[in-house]
Structure 1
Amino acid sequence: METSKTHRHFIIYKPYGYLSQFKSHDSKQQSKKFLGNLYNFPENAMAIGRLDEKSEGLLLITTDGKMSYFVNSQKVEKEYYAQVDGAIFEKAIEQLKCGVEIGFDGKKYQTKPCKVVKLNQTPNLPTRSQKIRDDRHGPTSWVSITLNEGKFRQVRKMTSAVGFPTLRLVRVRVGDIHLNQMQAGDVVEVDKFF
């Protein structure tokens, strides 16, 4: 997708504990951490698809509203690595692939079919700033979930719906853009996304 040269685009690794907004708009949020604490983004910058405070990973920032609309209009895949509580089994993975019922905006919502793969090894990700319980407290599993939609806290709600609550959630890919070796808090300005 072509965009004007006057627009600016950034790829960031949103750390755990940060909100996907640039500064506080509410006095109750004064103690929170914002994207603006990581980098001096342009005034008209916007996050393309948010990650909740407890989620981390790849986040695209742009000054181009058309680019934001394009990515959010379900045309671009988003891949997440989720560490779930328990040893996830094939039936739960099949349920996730086919779509599960979650709550969204006070109503029931059936998620669209998606790609789900159990990861046989723990992915090579930066250590999270807040420790996650370890296997001494019971087994955990890692799954890759690739979606074309993005409801609020969707992946977390999906894994809970099949009995495996998410302990850690990291977005690792948006379209052809990957986290690669980025570390939490890294910000890279790019000429274009796609």
Structure 2
Amino acid sequence: MSVSGHRYFAINKPYNMVSQFISPDKVRLLGDLDFDFPEGTHAVGRLDNNSEGLLLLTTNKRVTRLLFESEQPHKRAYLVMVKNIVTQETIEKLRNGVTIRIKGGVDWVTTPCEAEIVEKPAYIAPREHHPVKEFLPHSWLLITLTEGKFHQVRKMTSAIHHHCDRLIRVSIEDMELGDLPPGGVREIEEETFFRLLKIENWQPEASILPQE
């Protein structure tokens, strides 16, 4: 049990699963994973139905605010498989910022980011549902952002005329997906959880516990 009484998890969200436990629609839910999560567990942020990879779950309602609504931006890294061969010139466009359409029909120039062409990591498993056609020309990119507009990574690759075939979040700050298999769950000790996410102002939560 953590100091605050809360529990913390990292999962590898599979393709074709929504980042929630309850839905009025007939979709695959987090509760379908082979793990007995405690009551009150919820996802910290989201990955859309078609995206895969690192998703954080916790019973601590403060985490979303501390991580995604703080003044200090937090890095999130994504492995992206796109159609056709990406050139270094195109990568420079991603790094410097591209124009995407965001909520309200507004054009938005993305904040400069880290982007590079990479080989497919050995730990990335084939996608079970709706396999991608890796025998066709494609590139794997590693894109690291500090902002998170709706479907931003997909819109960024579209802006450079490369359709996103597969998107996998591999890290949030120093919290890494590693070799956790699709659908796998890893429980994380509270202090380690916040240290890896580089959140320093979480300890006052312990004050809610009754004094002995």
Both proteins in one fold, TM over 0.5: yes
Distance 1:166 1:55 in 2: 10
1:17 equivalent in structure 2: 16
Structure 1 runs not aligned, ≥5 long: none
Give the aligned partner of residue 43 of structure 2: 47
The answer to whether residue 59 in structure 2 is matched with residue 63 in structure 1 is: yes
Report if the CA contact (8 A) 1:62-1:68 is conserved.
no
Aligned partner letter, 1:183: P
Alignment of 1:1-194 (within 5 A): 4-24=3-23, 26=24, 29-30=25-26, 32-38=27-33, 39-73=35-69, 75-105=73-103, 106-119=105-118, 121-124=119-122, 125-129=124-128, 130-135=130-135, 138-192=136-190, 193=193, 194=195
Q: CA deviation at 1:144?
A: 0.2
Stretches of 4+ moved more than 4 A in 1?
none
Deviations 1:107-155 (A, max 9, x none): 2222111100110x222201111210132xx410001000111112110
Between the two proteins, what is the percent identity of the paired residues?
Answer: 39
Instruction: Mark the CA change 1:8 to 1:146 in structure 2 (over 3 Å): closer, same or farther.
Output: same
The answer to whether the 8 Å contact 1:86/1:140 transfers is yes
Alpha-carbon offset, residue 100 of structure 1: 1.1
Distance 1:151 1:4, change over 3 A: farther
Equivalent position amino acid for 1:102 in 2: I
Contact 1:14–1:184 under 8 Å retained in 2 = yes
Distance 1:10 1:164, change over 3 A: same
Q: CA deviation at 1:4?
A: 4.8
Could you tell me how far apart the structure 2 residues matched to 1:71 and 1:165 are?
A: 29
AA of the residue aligned to 2:68: N
Q: Give me the TM-score of the superposition, normalised by structure 2.
A: 0.82
Give the number of aligned pairs: 185
The alignment yields a C-alpha RMSD, in angstroms, of: 1.5
Residues 49 and 150, structure 1, Cα contact 8 Å, conserved in 2: no
The Cα of 1:40 is off from its aligned counterpart by: 3.2
